Structure 1
Amino acid sequence: MARAPLTRDEVLDAAAALVKQHGPQALTMRKLAAGLGTAVTSIYWHVGNREELLEALVERTVADLGEIRPRGASPQERVVSVARALRRRLRAHPHLVAMVHERGLTERMFLPAQQALVHEVHAAGLRGARAAEAVRAVQFQVVGHVLVERNRERSPVQRPGEDELWAERNLAAAEDDRALARVLAAPVDPERLFTASVRALVKSLLEAGT
């Protein structure tokens, strides 16, 4: 059976997958063509040269982050949903996000999420400087948390680790709080920690408008 004609979206999907797995340096037109089972000339026809391909990936990443839609019955729930969705997008495409940043488009990338947050903080009664501060606080919380997660993932194995440092035999550091020691000795659940922290932040920010 003959292969269906290659599309631009298929080329971009394959290029994004290569970048996600190996980083931008691994993206070559020859490797991309081989993965798609086509000729290099076909890749050039669909997306231009490598620099034009990278620009197209950056533009698509910016557009993808613009598709975040708030969910929830209250402004607080909807702000938290935007924050969680933004974190997931940033976590899913670290190399592509880095490419966006290198091309000076970071602020443009975050603009749709900021606009969604503006709508929700207005609905919660915040205006002016308080509203702007709330939007930026949520954005910085997301970005900061993602950076910490990435740093923990790329850091060398820690010796001693948290499990050893917070072992129950070392309860002096936990002020004899065994439950606290057990949790701090267990692996971190980044999603749960992020959700708890952003909910607390958003609650305090939005209550300032009531």
Structure 2
Amino acid sequence: MTKPFTSVWTREPRSPRSSPGLSREQIVRAALELLDTEGTEGLSMRKLGAKLDAGATSIYWYVANKDELMELAYDEIWADMEVADPEQITWRYSAATFGKGMRQAILRHPWSARLIGRMPAIGPNALRVSDQLRKALTRAGFRGLEIDYAASTLTGYVFGMTIPEAVWNEYINDRQPDLDGMREAVASAVAGYPEMQARIEEMQSHDPKEVREMSFDFGLYTVLDGLEARLVT
């Protein structure tokens, strides 16, 4: 038997006038703070109620369960993503700001990586950002389903590059591994591959954060080059 789909975005919100004291904005802000510090496992109605110095009743007024709470928090991170107006600049620049903005949003809130592909992004902030991207791709010349294909190609690249980075950052923060020992182990493992060893040594001579950003930008603009090439074939 299939489980009915429910979402905090598909039902009418309750009137704030009848709420038991807290606002939805307060609840979402507190949930974001818990998620950013403790991840999805650290978020619970009990912890959230304690953080807000309120009972669970106040929270359940706005959300039916933890999933709905995470839906609200997930949409909130999209609010930080600024997509350059495709009506004012080139479609490539607009699409690039989308990609970079999405990457930064995931890295600022690494717990969101666990929701991608599991929780639909249908909140108002996510829809606004997605609409801007589709406008940019339409101005580029894509039509019909090709707009969706192009958007999926771009977001797929961002997810593929950023989710492992977010997971790695969480791992470092939580486990605090011996990075020098890890580098030595990698160097030993590739000792029989001179070209690979040279590339690793070169990368280790640069700031890791800068290397990741340059790597992301290289791939992002390569994807945009590929999308643009399809428009002229």
Aligned partners of 1:11, 1:108: CA distance in 2, in Å? 19
Match of 1:52 in 2: 65
Q: Distance in 2 between the 1:175 and 1:27 partners?
A: 42
Q: Report deviation, 1:48.
A: 3.5
Of the three residues 92, 96, 101, the one matched with 1:80 is: 96
Q: Give 3-state SS (helix, strand or coil) of 1:161's partner.
A: helix
Structure 2 counterpart SS, 1:106: coil
- Indicate conservation of the 8 Å contact 1:69/1:116, yes or no: no
- SS of match in other structure, 2:65: helix
Pairing of 1:1-210 with structure 2 (within 5 A): 6-36=22-52, 38-40=53-55, 43-48=56-61, 51-52=64-65, 54-62=67-75, 64-65=77-78, 68-71=81-84, 73-96=89-112, 98-99=114-115, 101-102=117-118, 105-106=119-120, 108=122, 112-128=128-144, 130-153=146-169, 154=171, 157=178, 159=181, 161=183, 165=187, 173-174=194-195, 183-186=202-205, 187-189=207-209, 190-210=212-232
Cα pair 1:118 1:135 within 8 Å, conserved: yes
**2:24 maps to amino acid:** R
One-letter identity of the residue aligned with 1:87: R
Q: Which amino acid aligns with 1:119?
A: K
1:6 and 1:176 map into 2 onto residues whose CA distance is 57
Q: Which runs of 5+ in 2 are unaligned?
A: 1-20
* Cα distance in structure 1, aligned partners of 2:40 and 2:142: 41
| Pair 1:118–1:162, CA change in 2 (3 A) | farther
Match of 2:219, as an amino acid?
S
1:113-157 CA distance string (max 9 Å, x none) = 443322112212233454443221101001101222134332765
After TM superposition, the score normalised by the length of structure 2 is 0.64
Number of residues of Structure 1 aligned to a counterpart in Structure 2: 196
Letter in 2 for 1:65: W
Q: Is the 8 A contact 1:164 1:185 kept in 2?
A: no
Q: How far, CA to CA, are the matches of 1:195 and 1:163 in structure 2? A: 28
Shift of the 59–30 alpha-carbon distance from structure 1 to 2, 3 Å rule, reads: closer
One-letter amino acid of the structure 2 residue matched with residue 184 of structure 1? M
Instruction: Provide closer, same or farther for how the CA distance between residues 26 and 77 of structure 1 changes in structure 2, counting only shifts above 3 A.
Output: same
Measured after TM superposition, the shift of residue 32 of structure 1 is: 2.9
TM-score by length of 1: 0.70
How far does residue 23 in structure 1 lie from its aligned partner after superposition?
Answer: 2.4
Aligned partners of 1:25, 1:146: CA distance in 2, in Å? 21
